[in-house]
A and B are shown apart, each in its own frame.
Chain A
Amino acid sequence: MNKILAKQRLSKEVFRMEIEAPEIAEARHPGQFIILQMGGDFGERIPLTIANADPVKGSITLIFQAVGETTHRLALLEPGDTIQNLLGPLGKPTDIKKYGKVVCVGGGIGVAPLFPIVEGMKKAGNEVTVIMGARTKELLIMEEDMRAIADEVIVVTDDGSYGRKALVTVPLKEICEEDKPDCVVIIGPPVMMKFAALTTKPYGIHTIVSLNTIMIDGTGMCGGCRVTIGGETKFVCVDGPEFDGHLVDWDNMLLRLGTYKSEEAEAHHRCHIGLKINEGEA
């Protein structure tokens, strides 16, 4: 049982929650995630990245987007409520060290898990540029947090409602041309990660991506999270979640993410009825 200590709505669909979890807070490193399960026997297990942790207070912070049934149910919880099951920290930590110049690229909700990595890279003595993007201004999160630690922050939106009207790949390519970075870290929607990784490939830049495949146990037991990396099968929950972006079989991963699309859409619809949330409002 883990108590929710604080909750904040960062945008229409995005929530930040601080949760009591002393052991996880103590053990975790940037890049790692948790799996939570709630709602008795019938609840689903879903992975969320640990966006931040306070080992003194014994809490971790999750930032999540309400996209379907389970994330909606989570969004309905309030401070004082508990999450029945919380397992972590899972996965391997980010390989944080001194590279020199690092560019961190975040798309949408991916900005949240990117934050502890930016922090870590900075602490390790790197010069860090952040490129963060969202569909529209409303969905942009954590700009202030990023500005407080990064050397440079470039904001882009798809519709030009804020910052530059561009995809993250545009400033990324410019940076690769002008002042080639030593390492690029990309977290965001899979399609964005695919194209951002393709952008750095011709320059031979070390490119780390954080994969978000469908998971159950998170301990390497089921193989449901598997992806193809350089022709080899890997389990994202134990071998990852971070991999060399130039070796990922993106198309296969995208197909696998869609395994339950129609079932999930039905559940999402059912949950809107059951939870009395209006369509389009998280």
Chain B
Amino acid sequence: KDRAKIPLQEMPSQAPEVRVCNMEEVALGYTENQVRLEAMRCIQCKNQPCIAGCPVSIDIPAFIAEAAKGDYGKSVEIIKESSLLPSICGRVCPQEVQCQKFCTVGKMHKDVEQSVSIGRIERFVADYAREHGLEKIPSIKPDSGRKVAVVGSGPASISAAADLRREGHTVMMFEALHKAGGVLVYGIPEFRLPKKIVEHELQNLKDMGVEIRPNYLVGKTRKIADLMEKDGFDAVFVGSGAGLPKFLGIEGENYVGVFSANEYLTRSNLMKAYAVGKSQTPLYRSKNVAVFGGGNVAMDAARTAKRLGAEEVIVVYRRTEVEMPARREEVTHAKEEGIKFLFLHAPLKITANEKGRVNGVELITCELGEPDASGRRRPVEIPGSEKIYDFDTAIIAIGNDSNPLIKATTDGIEVNRRGNFIVNEETCETTLKGVYAGGDIVLGAATVILAMGQGRRAAKAMNTYLKGLA
């Protein structure tokens, strides 16, 4: 077959030496010619194994077929039946462990990197539709007389709000920060997800009639009970995310120059501290940065540090490259940008100079032992292998727990041992009637696509619930 001869289309990207000096997007996106070629690599399998790999079951062969034909508007419409945020998920989904993992083309080459680039095609058609005004504004049913509060403004909340508003409910979205978008805005850097894309999605919500209220911390400005009893909200969706940074619990962790990745990234992204001299939020000047962790958060922190002027950035990870949970593409990009990796090492202690500023980190070497609960081989420290390395900055990027604020201010909401809301799997309803939840607050730190999927599932159940109210 001719299709098998079409080479994988590489993503055009900014050159590494150029992009480490700016904050602009690294991956530039396919050309129209490229997207058609890449789409033609799909052999339209009858059993469609890729669909099973997508958490929201997008009809992948169908949208790819339209892209191959050049009908990008139609292509996006197919995607939007299942996912509301394709230009975002096309960029940030860990495709190599989801849809592309199961692709027949990759299997034929015995290399997942050779799979059809589903995410890149998704990104292209979504960008194309946005830039060419092909997006259809969803129709909104007449006023239902019902009012819904949506807490948070990340992907779970954005998708819940859209689906609730379509049914004609009044939807008000409450966000604690001064800008909406959740992690998409404060966490994931511009060079990976341009903020104008997120703004566009939020503008779509506003155009649909969703009211967004920033600077409103539910639980503090007002409690959920008050929203329901005093303000007349008939139901509430909570998408408050997993915004509680984990620390290592090691000596020296509160020295000057130790940051959670959340703080480091929020300063740079949300507060625009990378615009030195223009932004009023200051940045720590670093030369040698250690980043602890191996996920997307660690990659984002490391690559941000590089762009902010650090000479050397080293990602310290307890296991090996194979176990790193970060997206493949981010690891590749990080390496191209000169980020170094120290695998099989774990931090024991942070040291500081007489002014309390970080000047080193004590690391211990590890080896892989038996698999743990996650199925990954557990790192085991090798006694006697401790060594102090010079660093002036340490960024802790080992993940987030659930923010306890809503639980602490709302009677009747139950959480599990890790602080995640307990919900009915089918409906996403919490233990409190009329209150639903989805995204990281339920799943623990997960992914954009899973958060989006839960937001939609909750909205569906909420729409039924609201209809049933007397």
Contact = CB atoms under 8 A, between A and B. Distances in A.
Contacts of A218: 217
B280 A42 contact: yes
A223 B405 contact: no
A43 B283 contact: no
Interface stretch (A86-94, A104-112, A137-145): A86-94
Contacts of A23: 216, 221-222
A219 B403 contact: yes
Nearest to B396: A223
A252 B221 contact: no
Interface residues of B, number: 44
Contact of A264 (B267, B278, B282): B282
A87 B215 contact: yes
B457 to A, nearest CB: 25
Nearest to B260: A223
Contact of B247 (A27, A45, A90, A233): A233
Interface stretch (B53-61, B97-105, B251-259, B324-332): B251-259
B354 to A, nearest CB: 10
Q: Which of B177, B243, B262, B355 has the most CB of A within 10 A?
A: B177
Contacts of B255: 252, 255
B284 interface: yes
Interface string A63-87: 0000001100100000000001111
Given A228-B254, A255-B256, A216 B271 contact: yes
Q: Which of B217, B256, B262, B280 has the most CB of A within 10 A?
A: B280
A39 interface: yes
Interface in B280-295: 280-285
A90 B356 contact: no
B348 interface: no
Contacts of A43: 280
B433 interface: no
Contact of B281 (A24, A44, A90, A259): A44
Contacts of B245: 221-223
B282 A260 contact: yes
A217 B182 CA distance: 12
A16 interface: no
Nearest to B245: A223
Contacts of B263: 216, 222-224
Contacts of A89: 220-221
A50 to B, nearest CB: 12
Contact of A220 (B243, B271, B275, B285): B243
A206 interface: no
B254 A252 contact: yes
B280 A44 contact: yes
Interface string B203-229: 000000000001111001110000000
A267 interface: yes
B221 A259 contact: no
A222 B221 contact: no
Interface string A209-229: 000000011111111101110
Contacts of A61: none
Interface in A28-47: 37, 39, 41-45
A89 B272 CA distance: 25
A88 B221 contact: yes
A267 B280 contact: yes
B8 interface: no
Given A37-B178, A233-B247, 10 more contacts: A23-B221, A42-B275, A86-B215, A89-B220, A90-B220, A219-B177, A219-B217, A223-B247, A228-B254, A249-B254
14 contacts: A23-B221, A27-B220, A44-B281, A84-B178, A86-B215, A90-B220, A220-B243, A221-B245, A223-B245, A223-B262, A249-B254, A252-B255, A255-B256, A260-B284
Interface of A: 23-24, 27, 37, 39, 41-45, 69-70, 73, 84-90, 216-224, 226-228, 233, 238, 249, 251-252, 255-256, 258-260, 263-264, 267, 270
